[in-house]
Amino acid sequence: MENEKLLRQVEAHPYPLVFATISGAHLYGFPSPDSDFDLRGVHLLPLNEVVGLDTGRETVEKSGVEDGIELDLVTHDAKKFFGLMLKKNGYVLEQVFSPLVVHATPEHEELKEIAANCITRHHVHHYLGFAATQWKLFQKESPPRVKPLLYVYRVLLTGIHLMQTGKVEANLRKLNEAANLSFIEELIDRKVAGPEKSQMPEADLAFHQAEYERLVSELEAASEASRLPELPAAKDALNDLLVRLRLKGN
């Protein structure tokens, strides 16, 4: 039912979409009963809104309750999104590779192949920075909440997995199959069973501080040992795809 409602949001988008996938807590494997749906994707501006004086919307955003579901929708025009792919931005790669697909095209499949050549060793900085932000958020709240702590572990484990394998995996349950952190399932169960802002009144802050620092060190070590390239090798392929998309849309 939710997928049908999300599909209707895709159909109502003002521009054609290359793809639309679900991100956020649903992708990460720990949605609360009241979690919103984070819909992310790539849209295609028509040629006249790219080369003319009146340019189209590089980013389309919409949030609120739509068709009975709480929605947070963000899409970027293909040029902007492809530019982000060439930077050390793990977030956009997670959107491309998300298995929770609401709308796909043949070009989305091609984009996934190209995206594999966007991954570099320097994506470690994205995951270290994101984890640090979530850790500060977790620390400053009293009592602390489950969500930012789960984000800390999800981000660090995603980064470690990426550095070691070159593969994007954002689902914390799957990541923990390798990490085998005994406390992760209990944290996920607490988040999934409760409201989005569920708290942790008995959080062992010293324990989680030690785990955070340990995993940061593990991520840094994985980056140092990684065989991933220093620079992305996908610019020409992305440029070719963008040109073909523009021509196809006109």
Q: What is the pLDDT of residues 171-183, one digit of tens each?
A: 999 999 999 999 9
**Tokens for 173?**
């349950």
Q: How confident is the model at residue 248 (pLDDT cuts 50, 70, 90)?
A: confident
Q: Quick one: DSSP state of residue 198?
A: -
Q: Within a 13 Å sphere around the CA of 134, how many CA atoms are in the beta-carbon half?
A: 21
**Displacement of CA 24 from its chain's centroid (Å):** 7
Q: How high is the pLDDT of residue 201?
A: 61
Q: Are 45 and 12 contacting, i.e. CB atoms less than 8 angstroms apart?
A: no
Q: Is the pLDDT of residue 1 over 80?
A: no
Q: How high is the pLDDT of residue 250?
A: 60
Q: How confident is the model at residue 213 (pLDDT cuts 50, 70, 90)?
A: very high
Q: How many of the other CB atoms lie within 10 Å of CB of 119?
A: 24
Residues 6+ apart with CB under 8 A from 164: 222, 226
Give percent above pLDDT 90 in the chain: 80
Q: How high is the pLDDT of residue 144?
A: 87
Phi, psi of 43 (to 5 degrees): -110, 170
Q: How high is the pLDDT of residue 53?
A: 81
Section 64-87 average pLDDT = 94
With both helix axes pointing from N to C terminus, report the angle between 78-85 and 235-248 in degrees, rounded to the nearest 10.
170
Pairing of strands 17-23, 101-103: antiparallel
Give residue-wise pLDDT tens across range 26-60: 999 999 888 899 999 999 999 999 988 888 999 99
Section 158-169 average pLDDT = 98
Q: How high is the pLDDT of residue 197?
A: 66
Q: How confident is the model at residue 21 (pLDDT cuts 50, 70, 90)?
A: very high
Write down the mean pLDDT value for the chain.
Answer: 93
Q: How high is the pLDDT of residue 142?
A: 83
Beta-bridge partner residues of 187? none
Section 90-113 average pLDDT = 97
Q: Is the pLDDT of residue 214 over 80?
A: yes
Q: How high is the pLDDT of residue 33?
A: 84
Dist CA 42 CA 114 (whole Å)? 15
Q: How high is the pLDDT of residue 203?
A: 65
Q: How many of the other CB atoms lie within 10 Å of CB of 209?
A: 13
H helices, E strands: number in the chain:
12, 5
Closest CA to 61 of 45, 80, 44, 74: 74
Residue-wise burial string across 228-242, b where 16 or more C-beta atoms lie within 10 A, e elsewhere: beeebebbebbeebb
